[in-house]
Amino acid sequence: MPDLVFLSLRNIFRNARRTTITVFSIVVGFAAMACFGGFIEFSFEGLRENTIRTQLGHLQIYAEGYWEKRVSDLESVLITGPEEVEERIAELPGVATVTHRLTFSGLGTAGNATVNMSVVGVDLEGEQEFSDFEILVDGRPLDPGDPEGGLIGEELRNGLGARVGDWVTVLTSSFDGVINAVDFRVAGVVRSASREYDSVFAKVPIELAQRARETDKVERIIVLLEDTGDLPELLPRIEEILAGFDRKFEIRRWDELAGFYEAVVALYTGLFRVFAGIVGVVVMFSVANTMTMAVFERTAEIGALRAIGARRSTLIAMFLFEGLGVGLIGSGLGVAASWLLAAAVEAVGGIPMPPPPGMTQGFQAYFNLTGAVLLSAFAVTMVATLVSSVYPAFAASRIRIVEALQPS
């Protein structure tokens, strides 16, 4: 077997020009597939972290029954006194912050303009980690010493025609059904990744939200971790802490709440599979052409090997090893080419990209070449080269000795 592998590797370079062209096509296909996968991985990571660190957190904790009663009887599933729960969870290593929120919807008015608003009441001290990931386009962040300040989304500002320092009145109803109104002064204007979110978003101190709803309870507890990769390890420990309270809670992970993210992942994953399939077909034809030509050129050699007792299985294995060798060489050089392209893109500061549909701003794209991305490209390349070598290998093994040894 070692001799057969060595012979196959020597045969690869018998026609250096053709082998070089074939390897080059594999390298180009591998690098294109890896860089496209790296771009998709970068997009997933950016969207995931933006969604987590501006809106959802890694975990959201609710009172038991929240999702069944959040529309019909929200007041009955609010959380009383969340501080004890937050303190226990915040002691865990890897937890960046724990905070609480109370949300409500209403009609916002500034001057003569009236628009729908989704208001988030936040604990200003616990919300600092989230604020760090919001893009402030005007004004200043919320100050814990300003109980009447508020932030609004950039698109909401345009709808209201409001400026920093203006007062906005939000008309809503309390849990008792009484019409209520609260005022806040626009302290700043922020921009997130979603234009739709920015068109209704407002953030105010939770005390103001509680006054609007006439309650001292909160709707949810938000847990933000230092690293998203720690979530599988910390989730059971947080569940164990919650089980120690008399009250019953339920937990939702960020990916269970981020429907838009899951849709984007499904779309981009499908695109990558189609692209990988196209690259695989191109590699198959390139390698198949090389291997077929090798069989035609070496017909007499194949006949001689058969004449001295070489089995058909030996010929099949020899040509399959040649195909795999070409694939390994191309894949190895493809990894190097992918890293060089990724390094070049990083060196020039990324690739400028326009805002995606529904988003408010463009971004600089990079290639995040993870092990999974490179492994996927390697698997597609090797499967393509192996499959494309099967027919030439069997064709070589079926050549009749007498015909192969006849002079052409």
Per-position DSSP letters for 269-303, written without gaps between them: HHHHHHHHHHHHHHHHHHHHHHHHHHHHHTHHHHH
Determine contact, residues 19/291, Cβ cutoff 8 Å: no
* 77 and 41 within one domain: no
Instruction: Say if residue 312's pLDDT is above 90.
Output: no
pLDDT at 142: 86
Residue 253 located in a structural domain: no
Residue 24 located in a structural domain: yes
The helix (H) or strand (E) run that includes residue 377 is helix 371-397
- Kindly state the percentage of the chain with pLDDT values over 70: 87
pLDDT at 72: 81
Residue 284 located in a structural domain: yes
Determine the distance from the C-alpha atom of residue 111 to the mean position of all C-alpha atoms in its chain, rounded to a whole number: 41
Residue 58 located in a structural domain: no
Mean pLDDT is lowest, of 36-45, 115-124, 168-177, 361-370, for: 361-370
Instruction: Say if residue 360's pLDDT is above 90.
Output: no
* 291 and 234 within one domain: no
Cα diameter, the chain: 102
Mean pLDDT, range 249-259, rounded to an integer? 88
* 77 and 206 within one domain: yes
Count of CB atoms within 10 A of residue 177's CB?
Answer: 7
Alpha carbon distances (Å) from 261 to 48, 103, 269, 364: 7, 22, 12, 19
User: How many CA atoms within 13 Å lie on the side-chain side of 237?
Assistant: 14
Instruction: Say if residue 351's pLDDT is above 90.
Output: no
Q: What are phi and psi of 18, to 5 degrees?
A: -65, -40
What pLDDT band is residue 340 in, cutting at 50, 70 and 90?
A: very high
Mean pLDDT, range 42-46, rounded to an integer? 86
406 burial level (CB within 10 Å; 0-12, 13-18, 19+): exposed
Instruction: Say if residue 54's pLDDT is above 80.
Output: no
* 233 and 146 within one domain: yes
Count of CB atoms within 10 A of residue 94's CB?
Answer: 13
d(CA 8, CA 132): 58
* 295 and 395 within one domain: yes
* 267 and 372 within one domain: yes
88-131 pLDDT, tens digit per residue, is 999 999 998 899 999 999 999 998 888 999 999 998 887 777 76
Instruction: Say if residue 303's pLDDT is above 60.
Output: yes
What pLDDT band is residue 177 in, cutting at 50, 70 and 90?
A: confident
Residue 254 located in a structural domain: no
Instruction: Say if residue 212's pLDDT is above 70.
Output: yes
187-210 pLDDT, tens digit per residue, is 999 887 677 888 899 999 999 999
pLDDT at 171: 93
pLDDT at 316: 75
Determine the distance from the C-alpha atom of residue 14 to the mean position of all C-alpha atoms in its chain, rounded to a whole number: 45
pLDDT at 133: 62
Domain limit, last residue, from 193, 214, 247: 247
Mean pLDDT is lowest, of 242-246, 264-268, 399-403, for: 399-403
DSSP 34-89: HHHHHHHHHHHHHHHHHHIIIII-SEEEEETTHHHHTTT-GGGGPBS-THHHHHHH
pLDDT at 320: 79
Instruction: Say if residue 52's pLDDT is above 90.
Output: no
* 353 and 240 within one domain: no
What pLDDT band is residue 151 in, cutting at 50, 70 and 90?
A: very high
Which residue is associated with the tokens 């921009």? 191
Q: What are phi and psi of 400, to 5 degrees?
A: -75, 140
pTM: 0.76
List CB contacts of 266: < 8 A, sequence separation 6 or more: none
Instruction: Say if residue 404's pLDDT is above 60.
Output: no
Question: In DSSP terms, which residues pair with 191 in a beta bridge?
Answer: 135
Residue 57 located in a structural domain: no
d(CA 197, CA 132): 18
Which residue is associated with the tokens 């309870």? 217
pLDDT at 174: 87
Instruction: Say if residue 6's pLDDT is above 80.
Output: no
Domain membership of residue 162 as a residue range: 65-247
What pLDDT band is residue 7 in, cutting at 50, 70 and 90?
A: low
Number of domains in the chain: 2
pLDDT at 401: 66
* 133 and 29 within one domain: no
112 burial level (CB within 10 Å; 0-12, 13-18, 19+): exposed
* 347 and 306 within one domain: yes
Average pLDDT, the chain: 84
Mean pLDDT, range 126-143, rounded to an integer? 77
List CB contacts of 371: < 8 A, sequence separation 6 or more: none
* 362 and 321 within one domain: yes
d(CA 116, CA 156): 9
Count of CB atoms within 10 A of residue 99's CB?
Answer: 24
Determine contact, residues 42/365, Cβ cutoff 8 Å: yes
List CB contacts of 276: < 8 A, sequence separation 6 or more: 33, 37, 376, 377, 380
Domain limit, last residue, from 219, 247, 275: 247
What pLDDT band is residue 233 in, cutting at 50, 70 and 90?
A: very high
* 183 and 110 within one domain: yes
d(CA 246, CA 284): 63
Domain limit, last residue, from 198, 222, 247: 247
* 310 and 165 within one domain: no
